[in-house]
Chain A
Amino acid sequence: AQSVTQPDIHITVSEGASLELRCNYSYGATPYLFWYVQSPGQGLQLLLKYFSGDTLVQGIKGFEAEFKRSQSSFNLRKPSVHWSDAAEYFCAVGGQEYGNKLVFGAGTILRVKS
């Protein structure tokens, strides 16, 4: 069965600092991997996805993520964090083998300090 682990429940970074949010997955076939962001009181917004091909994917708002099959990881990065990035971030895995259903990680709450 598919599963996702986000080991960091909370992360605090200073504005302008770099950011890396960790995501590890378990999946029996070729995974589709996603990062979503949820701001307080808001819905889920898709940041980026890995489907196939280039393992470094670019997303919106200056985010990128790297798929590493050998490590079963899909970590999210941003070189310089802005205060508006404070939100909760969810990693998710899915695929055709499981009916395109998504399994979500527990989420990482990002706090940005000025």
Chain B
Amino acid sequence: SAVISQKPSRDICQRGTSLTIQCQVDSQVTMMFWYRQQPGQSLTLIATANQGSEATYESGFVIDKFPISRPNLTFSTLTVSNMSPEDSSIYLCSVVRWTSSYEQYFGPGTRLTVT
């Protein structure tokens, strides 16, 4: 498996501010993703965090709103910019590990509440 930590675990933020979420993995991984889970909803992929290049965003998500950095193979950040109450969600970091097969592991998530 993979040990993934996220900081902060939760936060309450004011409308119009920004929050940066950190994701740290215990070993190098090729692929990292950021997902959002809105209250009572399933998970939706925000973007693929690419090491050394710009992230690849899914439809409906843009870099200005969710800038992502990935400076190395064990670390990534997601920023939620100019927040509104609609951004209140759980944000999860995920990594892919290839062993004899393909497995995707998730961090514990960051619970964000925007007031």
Interface residue total, chain A, C-beta cutoff 8 A: 21
A34 at the interface (CB under 8 A from B): yes
> A51: nearest residue on chain B (CB-CB)?
B101
A46 touches B103 (CB 8 A): yes
Chain B residues, CB < 8 A from A107 = 42
Number of A-B contacts (CB under 8 A): 49
Alpha-carbon gap, A100 to B45, bound state (A): 11
- Are A94 and B101 in contact, CB atoms less than 8 angstroms apart? no
List the B side residues contacting A36 at CB < 8 Å.
106
Contacts of B48 in A (CB 8 A): 99, 101
On chain B, the residues within 8 Å of A94 by CB distance are 102, 104
Contact of A100 among B1, B92, B104 (CB under 8 A): B104
Asked if A102 is at the interface (CB within 8 A of a chain B CB), the reply is yes
Candidates A43, A90, A103; contact of B109 at CB < 8 Å: A43
Residues 25-40 of A at the B interface (beta carbon under 8 Å): 32, 34, 36
Given known contacts A43-B108, A44-B106, A101 and B42 CB-to-CB distance under 8 angstroms: no
Q: Are A43 and B101 in contact (CB under 8 A)?
A: no
Contact between B92 and A43 (Cβ–Cβ < 8 Å)? yes
Q: How far is the CB of B63 from chain A (nearest CB, A)?
A: 17
Query: B42 near A90 (CB under 8 angstroms)?
Result: yes
B33 contact set on A, CB distance < 8 A: 101-102
Encode A101-114 as 1/0 by CB contact (under 8 A) with B: 11111110000000
Q: Which residue of B lies closest to A94 (CB)?
A: B104
- Whether B103 lies near A101 (C-beta < 8 A) is no
Contacts of B108 in A (CB 8 A): 42-43
Indicate if the CB atoms of B101 and A44 lie closer than 8 Å: no
**Top 8 A-B pairs ranked by shortest CB distance?**
A51-B101, A44-B106, A43-B108, A104-B43, A104-B42, A106-B42, A107-B42, A100-B96
Instruction: Please list the residues of chain A having a beta carbon within 8 angstroms of any beta carbon in chain B.
Output: 32, 34, 36, 42-44, 46, 49, 51-52, 90, 94, 99-107
